[in-house]
Amino acid sequence: MELNTIKPADGAKKARRRVGRGIGSGLGKTAGRGHKGQKSRSGGYHKVGFEGGQMPLQRRLPKRGFKSASLKFNAEVTLTDLQRLGAAEVDLLTLKQAGLVGELAKVVKVIKSGELTTKVALKGIGATAGAKAVIEAAGGSVA
């Protein structure tokens, strides 16, 4: 085999479609566009979702729902989670290592759900008013 003898396999190369080049090509006159109508004309297409002037589906349906893009950076931890964790000092890194919050979490808040009997010191983590009261009653602190 030589470089000058290499050629593609039979049927691998197909001549491109040359429209509007006479009757003999099979794509002369209307150039494969059929007769009349919007799609036969130059520039004759409509935007996505267009329904011929009828009110399109995306406008007939009511607007509903919204999901904030910043939700993935916020996380919640319960008092029960802190109890199970069993650490004296808790910060964002501790929670991430324990798998209680996601890796993307930047803002964490402790919510009042469950019981807490151990002393826990929170560093750089927020807490709801109820959760703060429970933490401080157990001898802990929120900073």
Has residue 92 been placed in a domain?
yes
Has residue 130 been placed in a domain?
yes
Range of the domain at 130: 70-142
Has residue 89 been placed in a domain?
yes
* Per-residue pLDDT in tens (0 to 9) along the chain, 143 residues: 899 999 999 999 999 999 999 999 999 999 999 999 999 999 988 899 999 899 999 999 999 999 889 899 999 999 999 999 888 899 999 999 999 999 999 999 999 999 999 999 999 999 999 999 999 999 999 98
Has residue 14 been placed in a domain?
no
Antiparallel, parallel or unpaired: β 74-78 and 89-90:
unpaired
Q: Do residues 40 and 30 make contact, with C-beta atoms less than 8 angstroms apart?
A: yes
H and E: helices and strands count for the chain: 4, 6
Query: What's this model's pTM, rounded to 2 decimal places?
Result: 0.53
Dihedral (CA of 82, 87, 88, 90) sign: negative
CATH number for the domain spanning 110: value is 3.100.10.10
Distance CA 116, CA 10 (A): 77
Has residue 137 been placed in a domain?
yes
Residue labelled with tokens 């691998």:
12
Question: Count of domains in the chain?
Answer: 1
Has residue 116 been placed in a domain?
yes
